[in-house]
Structures are given as structure tokens and as C-alpha cells.
Amino acid sequence: MIAAATAAALAASALLPAAAEAAPAATPAKACATKWKAKKRVAVRRPGPNDGPVATMRSPIHHHLRKGQVVRSCVVAVDRTVSGPAYRACGGEGHVWRIVPGGQVPQSCLKRL
């Protein structure tokens, strides 16, 4: 009985390397390549302790982007509100914040390149 169990375990372990070789290799994650240009000087905000994961127009300012400065951003944060748009900035309004190095910027303040 013990010999049969040992033989079954050895046979199963012999199949594992073959199964692992048959599985496709994991592809490396692509680097973010989407570039955005600031339409005008805009504040990069970080969510405050009472804001949750998405910044608001009252969130603390981390730094500013200069007009024409190019940043990379492939991720957005969406802030839905019941009463209307989450922000009014740069001549537009909306609820999508682009996540850039250092914080978040209203998408209406950026132009995709």
C-alpha cells in the first residue's frame, strides 16, 4: 500500500515539470508610453487623508506642471459625484483624473500627444 502511494506521488511529480514547460511564459509588462502635455500651468494634487483614493480640487498640492510640460500617464482615477462634475478646471469639467508622477491632474488640463 505504501509502495503504491509512493509510486503515484513520484509519477505525479514527474509530470509537474512537463506541465510547467508546456505553460506559456509570462510576458513582461509594457512600460507606460502614453504621453500628455499640460495645456497651462496646473497643480498636481495628492489625495488628502479625508479624500479617499481620488484627489479633489481641495486636496493638497504636491507641485505644478508648467505649460507644455510632457508627462506619462496610463492610469486614471474616476471620481463620480451625485451633484455634477467632480471638478471644473482648465476650461472644462469632468470626473477623470490622470495619475501622473507625484499625484493626480484633471484630464481636462492635459492634451494627449
pLDDT in tens, 71-107: 999 999 998 888 888 899 999 899 999 999 999 999 9
Exposed (0-12), middle (13-18) or buried (19+): which is 77, by Cβ within 10 Å? middle
Q: Could you tell me the pLDDT band of residue 6, with boundaries at 50, 70 and 90?
A: low
- What pLDDT is recorded for position 82? 86
Q: How many domains does the chain have?
A: 1
Any domain includes 6: no
Any domain includes 16: no
**What's the rounded Cα separation, in Å, for the pair 7 and 13?**
10
Any domain includes 54: yes
Which DSSP helix (H) or strand (E) runs through 36? strand 35-38
Cβ atoms of 32 and 72 closer than 8 Å: yes
- The range of the structural domain enclosing residue 39 comes to 35-112
Q: Quote the pTM value.
A: 0.69
